[in-house]
Amino acid sequence: MQKIKLILTVFTVSVSLFSQSLNNKSVSSISYIGNQTFSEGKLINFSELKPASILVFSSTLFDRRLLKLDAIALKNFYQSEGFLETIVQDSFSVVGDEVEIFFIVNEGKRYYLNNVIINGLESLQEKFVLSTLGLFKGKPYNPVQINTNLSLVDEAFQEEGKLFARYDIQQDIRDSVIITLNIEEGKKIYINNLFRINFRVLFIARFSSPS
């Protein structure tokens, strides 16, 4: 049992020393393997780690945490372009004081938006909702923009007095994608009275039609 503990201790120390030894090493190159749709020049824009040839006057010090984050950013980009099943694996090789980075990309199938069904929409124009969420028929399906811009749709509802709108987005993913957006706008809120207490503006609202 003591031998096992000793081996584990030595292994832990070795990993720690190896991680520390990478701290002062610069990134010499970034290579992408398996990318067919987008060029390396396009993909490197989503990487925080960049070689000196890209930064011209300086180089980025290698950081394993940033490497993982770059892989996630790369996967998110592919998903925003309709590649919902993309797998990105990161790897690196140490050569002297420099680190070579590799991203292995399995793009998978690209999905396009076939149809959008919106239920319960009354206060906003359907065209506005579709364009804000990036839902364009025949275009690559972008779930990232839906998640990012749903707050903009909510703000538009609030401007219409619908402060408690609720959303349910359902994805039917087969050869293409069909989106069903169910909206519960809720009652419209009107402000009856507005007054100030201790430099704070308070208001009394009612859930009914204006008189």
pLDDT per residue rounded down to tens, the chain (211 residues): 444 444 444 434 344 434 445 668 899 999 999 999 999 999 999 999 988 775 555 667 899 999 999 999 999 999 999 999 999 999 999 999 899 999 999 999 999 999 999 999 999 999 999 999 999 999 999 999 999 999 999 999 999 999 899 999 999 999 999 999 999 999 888 766 554 545 454 555 555 554 4
Quote the tokens at residue 57.
């006057």
Calpha distance 119→115 (Å, rounded) = 13
Contact 186, 162 (CB under 8 A): yes
**Residue 88 near residue 103 (C-beta atoms within 8 A):** yes
Distance, in Å, from the CA atom of 52 to the CA atom of 28, rounded to the nearest integer, reads 7
Instruction: State which amino acid sits at residue 127.
Output: K
Q: How far is CA 155 from CA 2, 151, 163, 169, 209, in A?
A: 62, 6, 8, 17, 21
Q: Give the distance from CA 151 to its chain's centroid.
A: 14
- pTM listed for this prediction: 0.76
